[in-house]
Chain A
Amino acid sequence: MRASTREANLQALLADDSEVRSHVGDLLEAYKSTLAEDVRGTRLAHLIDAVHLTQQTDFAYDRKRLRESRLPDAVLTVFIQFLYRKHPDLRAKDSTGSSSTTSVSAQFLDKFSLRGVQYSTATCRSRDSHLFFRSPQHEKSGQITHIFFHTHVPDSPSSSSRGQASHPSVYLCVQPYAPLQHSPDLREIDRRYKQFGFAGGFLCRNEFTPPVIIEPLDIICHIAVTPLEISGHEVIHILPMDRVRFYPN
Chain B
Amino acid sequence: MDRTELPSWVTRAPLNWGTAARGKLSANNWRVVCTIHLPITLIRLWGGDDAPGDRKAMLENFMDLVRAVQLANLRSISRDEIKLYEEYIFRYVTTFKSLYKVAKVKPIHHAALHYGDVLRGFGPAHTHGAAFYERYIHSMQSKNHNMKLGLCLASRYNPTKHLFSTR
B159 adjacent to A245 (CB under 8 Å): no
Select which of A3, A47, A126, A197 is within 8 A of B157 by beta carbon.
A3
Nearest CB of B to A206, in Å? 11
Chain A residues in 8 Å Cβ range of B66: 196, 199
Give the CA-CA distance A192 to B157 in the complex, in Å: 55
Select which of B3, B8, B67, B126 is within 8 A of A128 by beta carbon.
B8
Given A224-B6, A224-B10, A50 and B40 contact (CB-CB distance below 8 Å): no
Q: Is B116 positioned at the interface, with any CB of A under 8 Å from its CB?
A: no
B8 adjacent to A193 (CB under 8 Å): no
Select which of A198, A224, A225, A244 is within 8 A of B75 by beta carbon.
A244
Pick the most buried of A125, A127, A188, A224: most chain B CB atoms within 10 A of its CB.
A224
B7 adjacent to A224 (CB under 8 Å): yes
Q: Is A146 positioned at the interface, with any CB of B under 8 Å from its CB?
A: no
Nearest CB of A to B134, in Å? 10
Chain A binder among B43-51, B95-103, B105-113: B43-51
Give the CA-CA distance A226 to B7 in the complex, in Å: 12
Nearest CB of B to A119, in Å? 9
Nearest CB of A to B50, in Å? 10
Give the CA-CA distance A226 to B76 in the complex, in Å: 27
Chain B residues in 8 Å Cβ range of A58: none
How many positions in chain A have a CB within 8 Å of any CB in the partner chain?
46
8 Å CB interface, B58-79 against A = 63, 66-67, 69-70, 73-76
Chain A residues in 8 Å Cβ range of B167: none
Give the CA-CA distance A241 to B157 in the complex, in Å: 39
Given A3-B159, A50-B126, A242-B73, A39 and B40 contact (CB-CB distance below 8 Å): no
Select which of B3, B7, B135 is within 8 A of A241 by beta carbon.
B7
CB nearest to A49 among chain B residues: B127
How many positions in chain B have a CB within 8 Å of any CB in the partner chain?
38
Q: Is A211 positioned at the interface, with any CB of B under 8 Å from its CB?
A: no
Q: Is A99 positioned at the interface, with any CB of B under 8 Å from its CB?
A: no
Nearest CB of A to B165, in Å? 17
Give the CA-CA distance A43 to B67 in the complex, in Å: 26
Q: Is B54 positioned at the interface, with any CB of A under 8 Å from its CB?
A: no
Q: Is A227 positioned at the interface, with any CB of B under 8 Å from its CB?
A: yes
Interface positions of A (Cβ within 8 A of B): 1-4, 39-41, 43, 46-47, 50-51, 53-54, 117-118, 125-128, 130, 188-189, 192-193, 195-201, 222, 224-228, 230, 237, 239, 241-245
Interface positions of B (Cβ within 8 A of A): 3-11, 35-36, 39-40, 43-44, 47-48, 63, 66-67, 69-70, 73-76, 123-124, 126-127, 129, 131-132, 135, 156-157, 159, 162
Q: Could you jot down 5 A-B contacts, CB within 8 Å?
A: A2-B159, A54-B124, A117-B7, A127-B5, A195-B47
